Amino acid sequence: MKKFLLFILLSLVFLLTLSNISHAFSLITDDTELNWYFVNRESGKTPEAPKESIDFLREYDAYYVGDTDSKVLYLTFDQGYENGNTNKILDILKEEKVPAAFFVVKPYIKTEKNIVKRMVEEGHLVCNHSSHHPSMATILDNEKFSKEFTEVEEEFKTLTGIDMPKYFRPPMGKYSKNSLKKTKALGYKTIFWSFAYKDWLVDNQPKEDYAIKKILNGVHPGAIILLHSVSDTNTKILKTVITELRKEGYEFKSLKDLPE
């Protein structure tokens, strides 16, 4: 009798949980602000994308992984501001012949002209991270939305004389179905990530051994890696990480090589 009552109780809890999940998803609209995340599986396996958006990521050219059938990695950096590390990172990438994508905001282009020009000259992609770093999901006015892209494009072209590559990283990982749709309409691919860790707090940097282990254990075939160049730790460990990943059979590719 007790086992039967326990079974009934657990069944009710399960049904209530399903009901709550269903209700939560029913409240999501095309303009609902969502937060990017991924669910890790066992080491070396592709993480799962958010359940609330997995159905429409591909429709709107949104990537969080690349070629998951090959041991390839895509290295990306978010450039909110300069902390004295980017030239050191570029030195390592040049020495190791590794391509990377740097997602920049408009103020970064204005204040770090020489670094941005160096990125381009050395074959890296300098990509769009918005003009003012807002949550794109909250900008419902189409003109304001577009300006977050075009102001960065114009600043970049004024500096370099070339068009900005059409890759966009949503600030703070915030997005909506409509923001992805509008981003695609502007000709962009949205680039999320399948690996990141807490590396951006300049006054609370992770230990080097921890960071190396975290990255090596977190990557998988086709991983889009997000690092922050403000991190002193990332700068110190980057060469080691590249070397160790190559030992494991990985190669680094450009976002230009993402599968269609």
The verdict on residue 23 lying in a domain is: no
DSSP string for 228-249 = ETT-HHHHHHHHHHHHHHHHTT
Amino acid at position 95, single letter: E
pLDDT of residue 184: 98
The verdict on residue 93 lying in a domain is: yes
Which residues touch 49 (CB under 8 Å, ≥6 apart)? 38, 57, 64
Number of domains in the chain: 1
- Per the annotation, the verdict on 78 as an active-site residue is yes
The CA-CA-CA angle for residues 146, 151, 155, to 5°, reads 155
The verdict on residue 182 lying in a domain is: yes
The answer on pLDDT for 21 being more than 80 is no
The answer on pLDDT for 153 being more than 90 is yes
The verdict on residue 34 lying in a domain is: no
Confidence at 13, pLDDT banded by 50, 70, 90: very low
CA distance 238 to 89: 8
pLDDT of residue 8: 55
The verdict on residue 139 lying in a domain is: yes
Where do the H-state alpha helices sit in 103-230? 106-111, 113-121, 142-160, 177-185, 208-218
Distance from the first to the final alpha carbon of the chain: 58
Which range marks the domain in which residue 157 is found? 60-257
Task: Kindly report the CATH number assigned to the domain that includes residue 114.
Answer: 3.20.20.370
**Annotated catalytic residue, options 78, 124, 129, 220:** 78
Average pLDDT over residues 93-105: 98
Q: What does the mean pLDDT of the chain come to? A: 92
Q: What is the pLDDT of residues 169-212, one digit of tens each?
A: 999 999 999 999 999 999 999 999 999 999 999 999 999 999 99
Most confident range (mean pLDDT) of 9-18, 19-28, 242-251 is 242-251
Give which of 150, 113, 252, 136 is closest to 192, Cα–Cα: 136
The verdict on residue 84 lying in a domain is: yes
Q: What is the pLDDT of residues 63-95, one digit of tens each?
A: 999 999 999 999 999 999 999 999 999 999 999
Tokens at 189, concatenated: 């691919």
Confidence at 19, pLDDT banded by 50, 70, 90: very low
**Annotated catalytic residue, options 55, 67, 228, 257:** 228
